[in-house]
Chains A and B, each alone.
Chain A
Amino acid sequence: DVVLTQTPPTLSATIGQSVSISCRSSQSLLHSNGNTYLHWLLQRPGQSPQLLIYSVSRLESGVPNRFSGSGSGTDFTLKISGVEAEDLGVYYCVQGTHAPPWTFGGGTKLELK
């Protein structure tokens, strides 16, 4: 199975600060069809996860454009350009290129400094 390693495990930020989260895969996530199925989720406290970005860099409908995703192969990054209070929670990357099984990263908790 593909292992996704997220760093850092915890991230402290002030409101307005820009932050990045890394997701590294044990295998290339480039599918034979040319797509890369690496997605980013946010789980706010007490809530279900929600999709933020799919296929590396595509913003899900309704998600603020301060969120952006980049990367290729085995290294991927989620960036938040100007953290807002509603962004606090745990971020997960998930891959579907080598599914099944779909696999999730261990999570990065974003908290206020």
Chain B
Amino acid sequence: QVTLKESGPGMLQPSKTLSLTCSFSGFSLSTSGMVVSWIRQPSGKSLEWLAAIDWDGDKYYNPSLKSRLTVSKDTSNTQVFLKITSVDIADTATYYCARDGSFDYWGQGVMVTVSS
């Protein structure tokens, strides 16, 4: 059974660094072709792909946010991380991690509010 679960701070202040964790089970990120993405969704709006990391450790970023994003994974290939630097109010959203390029499995999402 494939599951993913996001975790994060809930709320943080502008200019801080947001750190998110995606913990997953039921598949291995070391499997050839596997990829895990981060996607976010401001309340009432559409989805925005942010970053991804694949089985080989290659990293992919949304060009519009690339300078602020860092994606990584742990050595056991059961967690993927995302850091977003210099957050502001526009980064308030629900953040999801999802498996594969077809996004066949999603986590429940974690709501992040940026507020002073």
Which of B47, B62, B106 has the largest count of A CB atoms less than 10 A from its CB? B47
Please state if A41 and B62 are interface contacts (CB–CB under 8 Å).
no
Residue A100, interface by CB 8 Å: yes
Interface-lining segment among A17-25, A71-79, A81-89, A91-99: A91-99
The reply to whether A48 and B63 form a contact with Cβ atoms under 8 Å apart is no
Interface size class of A (residues with CB under 8 A): 20 to 34
* A39 proximity list for chain B (CB < 8 A): 102-103
DSSP class of A's interface residues: helix, strand, loop or mixed? loop
Taking CB atoms and an 8 Å cut-off, the chain B residues in 68-107 that contact chain A are 96, 98, 101-107
B112 to chain A minimum Cβ distance, whole angstroms, is 15
B67: CB under 8 A from chain A?
Answer: no
Alpha-carbon distance between A48 and B52 when the two chains are bound, in angstroms: 18
Q: Is the CB of B63 within 8 A of A41?
A: no
Q: Tell me, in angstroms, the Cα distance from A107 to B42 when the chains sit together.
A: 13
Whether A96 contacts B46 in the complex (CB less than 8 A), given A48-B96, A48-B107, A101-B63, comes out as no
| Chain B residues close to A by CB (< 8 Å) | 37, 46-49, 52, 60-63, 96, 98, 101-109
5 contacts between A and B (CB under 8 A): A51-B104, A96-B102, A101-B60, A102-B52, A107-B46
